[in-house]
Chains A and B, each alone.
Chain A
Amino acid sequence: MIELSHVSKRFGEETAVDDISLRVPKGKFCALVGTSGCGKSTTLRMINRLIEHSEGDIILDGQAIEVYDPVKLRRRIGYVIQHTGLFPHWNVARNIGLVPRLLKWSAADVQGRVEELMDLLGLPVGEFAHKYPHQLSGGQAQRVGVARALAADPDILLMDEPFGALDPITREKLQDELAKLQARLHKTVVFVTHDMDEALKLADHLVVMREGRIVQQGSPLALLQQPADSFVESLLGGLERGLKQAALTRVKDHMTSMGPTLPAQSRIPADFSLRQALSMMLRDHSDRLTVVDQHDVPIGELSLRRIIKEAQLDKGSARE
């Protein structure tokens, strides 16, 4: 668990982070979002003591952060740096095995772990282990960066715009993989991004920052339904907010049991999002879709009217 209470950071005169409080429970995924220069990276770096905070308390697993030896602390926290920061003079295997080696694991253990991680991140060992960073594509380099951060199996993972410099398609693919990974590994993650869609997609807890302060925090759905001010609203995409909210909701949560099926009605898998369902309705000029399971067997029905009604219901429940 990570807990920040009333934390500030000043660089000389300038206050980069101003009195922020934040709690990330164990196994949760927290995203920090905000415009460039608002103090996201600074917040992240205070957690692994790359930067010492000026005021307030940062508590990791019940202990004030000052208690830990900074070097040992950093070896226990995975960190994915903004522009990959892979070591150009080491090959992929050596890059990934760095922290285990620093922790003096045996050579065999290191090698085993490296291979395991390369498998996990979809980097075939035979092909990539001996490549150097400059021989990798941007997406591959980012995977190596993530693998390096996971190497010593840390409980906490800090990620600073890990997918910042990638094309939208690669980016989306890596986001999906990260989501899957997190579902399996249950790390406590703090994730920095300025891409709101990325944050909405991945986060359990969303923190919006502006000029060093936290403007609003909460679950993605809560923020979408009730943005605190126009800044958060514009970050959330203004008028597109409804669609973004729909993107967070699964079809299966809103389907009803089968009504009279029209033969020409389009079919949609149950684990698609409402946003995809809406798009399909627009495309097919229909207000009903047949919901199917993974074997394409119809299991229910989705109607436009119902989606709209339920959205209102959610709004009511998110108010508390």
Chain B
Amino acid sequence: MSNSLSVAQPRKRAPLWLWPLVWGALLLLSVVAMSAAEPLFRWIEPDARQVIYDRADFYVLLGRHLLVVGIAALVTVVVGVSAGIAVTRERGSDFLPLVGQLASLGQTFPPVAVLALAVPVLGFGTLPIIVALMLYGMLPIVRNTLAGLQAVDIDIKTAAHAMGMTPTQTLRYVELPLAAPVILAGIRTSVTINIATAALGATVGASNLGDPIISGIVNGNMAYVVQGALTIALLALTVDSLFELLQRQLRSRLSAP
């Protein structure tokens, strides 16, 4: 395996792990040493009493942000991929058209509206934003799972069948590995969108990196907004570049044509 990997590896100018490392380092720097940049923020907001958001530590906010996005992503991936798998099986094929349509409908629901509708049921706090993120992030995952699984060549599935693989083996060793790059791309889209969307949670009392932004808007303090936005953008870039790394690895492993 290692042998074939080195053959198939595409030659790149920068090593693959460079970008996640750079973005990750910047993110870390921004959450532990935001106060070091005080002169800069002072320049943005010369008149404010305070220019560094200090109601909570940034690493705590980052942790909560990650937790919300992570839980939502976990649930979406598990539910979305299983739904995609279920409706492409013989037994679940009745549900295929509906699930396909539903997935595309999911993103029609604006996250703010879902958030607002979730609050009466779930109360204020972290839960409504997780639900909103789940709904909003479901589409790319279900859509890509369906597309990926349906793109697996019928001949290859027949071959798997004919060699005596059970349906479970076919799914696990043939269909899923072949669909993996497409599914992973869906997860990537979903998670990156949700990292930005999670900031909305701050409006319903879920404390996360959206807090400084809301607080900045309410108090008219640009510096806070910049701090929140910067950290979220860095988080998004880190995660996105990690996915890029993962995708490349997968692609070279599969060395699909």
**A: which residues have CB within 8 A of B?**
45, 48, 50, 71-76, 79, 81-89, 91, 98-99, 102, 130, 132, 134, 148
Q: Give the most central of B7, B162, B174, B256: most A CB within 10 Å.
A: B162
Contact B158–A134 (Cβ < 8 Å):
no
Q: Mark B157-173, 1 if CB is under 8 A from A, else 0.
A: 01111111110010000
Q: Which residues of B contact A82 (CB under 8 A)?
A: 155
Identify 5 new A-B residue pairs, CB closer than 8 A, beyond the known A72-B164, A84-B155, A130-B3: A79-B162, A82-B155, A85-B159, A91-B4, A134-B255
Q: Which residues of A contact B161 (CB under 8 A)?
A: 50, 74
Contact B156–A102 (Cβ < 8 Å):
no
Q: Mark B72-114, 1 if CB is under 8 A from A, else 0.
A: 0000000000000000000000000000000000000000000
A91 to B159, CA, bound (A): 15
The answer to whether B217 has its CB under 8 Å from any CB of chain A is no
A72 to B165, CA, bound (A): 9
The answer to whether B178 has its CB under 8 Å from any CB of chain A is yes
Contact B162–A50 (Cβ < 8 Å):
yes
**Chain B binding surface SS class:** helix
A87 to B254, CA, bound (A): 10
A99 to B160, CA, bound (A): 10
Residue pairs across A and B with Cβ atoms less than 8 A apart, 12 shown, are: A45-B162, A50-B162, A72-B164, A73-B164, A75-B163, A76-B164, A88-B254, A89-B174, A89-B255, A99-B164, A134-B257, A148-B163
B-side interface size class: 20 to 34
Q: Which residue of B lies closest to A98 (CB)?
A: B163
Q: Mark B139-157, 1 if CB is under 8 A from A, else 0.
A: 0000000000000010110
Q: Which residues of A contact B7 (CB under 8 A)?
A: 130
What distance in Å separates the Cβ of B159 from its nearest Cβ neighbour in chain A?
Answer: 3
What distance in Å separates the Cβ of A306 from its nearest Cβ neighbour in chain B?
Answer: 49
Contact A89–B178 (Cβ < 8 Å):
yes
What distance in Å separates the Cβ of A155 from its nearest Cβ neighbour in chain B?
Answer: 14
Q: Which residues of B contact A91 (CB under 8 A)?
A: 4
If A81-B162, A102-B169, A148-B163 touch, does A132 touch B155 (CB 8 Å cutoff)? no
Q: Which residue of B lies closest to A145 (CB)?
A: B159
Q: Which residues of A contact B169 (CB under 8 A)?
A: 102
Q: Which residues of B contact A130 (CB under 8 A)?
A: 3-4, 7
Task: Specify which of A45, A76, A87, A89 is in contact with B159 (CB 8 Å cutoff).
Answer: A87
